[in-house]
Amino acid sequence: MSKHFDQWKHDALSSDKEDLSRKHSIDDYIVNVINRINGHNDYYTSSSCSGRTLVLSSSSTVTSSTKSDCQWLYVTHEHADLEAVLNCLEQRPKEIDMVSIKFEAFILHVICRTLECAKVLLNIALECGYRNSGLVISNQGKITLAIRSTHVLEVPLVIGGNLAVDQNYITQIVSIANEKMTANKTKIDKFSLCIENKLNIT
């Protein structure tokens, strides 16, 4: 057990600590999950995303692009709006080489007091279908559980500055992204119920 856990938790959940995410707040759909975990004596959350669909651009090639190169043309944590996606593609800056649509599922990082606590929450996550979940232990003894699923999608729409697909294809991809969002929220609901029941969190 790390002797620093309580201090880490206090510092992380301090009301004056800046939220470094682009949104600067917890996504609405997972507020209750986050609060339940943070209310438990043995856990606290360090970062999260409820799931999102993005249309993102890059002025570089696929092999040389970095996160800092990307521009978000559209993002939603709900079901994607087809017209909004089409509009951002139509209005994209001309200098952009590549544009992709991407779905990212729920992800949550939880700091755990002990390895035993981490294993309990990991087993719950795996039971709920988060098969990409795993543990990392830092040199300082901080035990981080990353809760992740395999629900992902990324498809290029603009290549070399030119729209590479037709509207019917974009419509189908947006529909698939929305189906994944529905499944993503169902899985979050299951996870929320499981942690409430199995960790005695209210």
The tens digit of pLDDT for each residue in 115-147 reads 999 999 999 999 999 999 999 999 989 999 999
pLDDT of residue 70: 81
Q: Considering the chain, what is the average pLDDT of its residues?
A: 89
pLDDT of residue 16: 60
Distance of CA 139 to the CA centre of its chain: 25
Q: At what angle do helices 31-38 and 167-198 cross, to 10 degrees?
A: 30
Strand-strand pairing, 162-163 and 134-137: unpaired
pLDDT (mean) for 17-42? 80
What confidence tens digit (pLDDT) does each residue in 55-72 have? 999 765 544 444 556 899
pLDDT of residue 22: 55
Residue appearing with tokens 């593609």: 89
Tell me the fold of 21-198. SSo0622-like fold (3.30.1960)
- Measured CA distances, 173 to 99, 107, 160, 196 (Å): 14, 22, 20, 35
pLDDT of residue 63: 47
pLDDT (mean) for 35-63? 87
Q: What is the pTM of this model?
A: 0.86
What confidence tens digit (pLDDT) does each residue in 141-197 have? 999 999 999 888 999 999 999 999 999 999 999 999 999 999 999 999 999 999 999
Structural domain boundaries of the chain?
A: 21-198
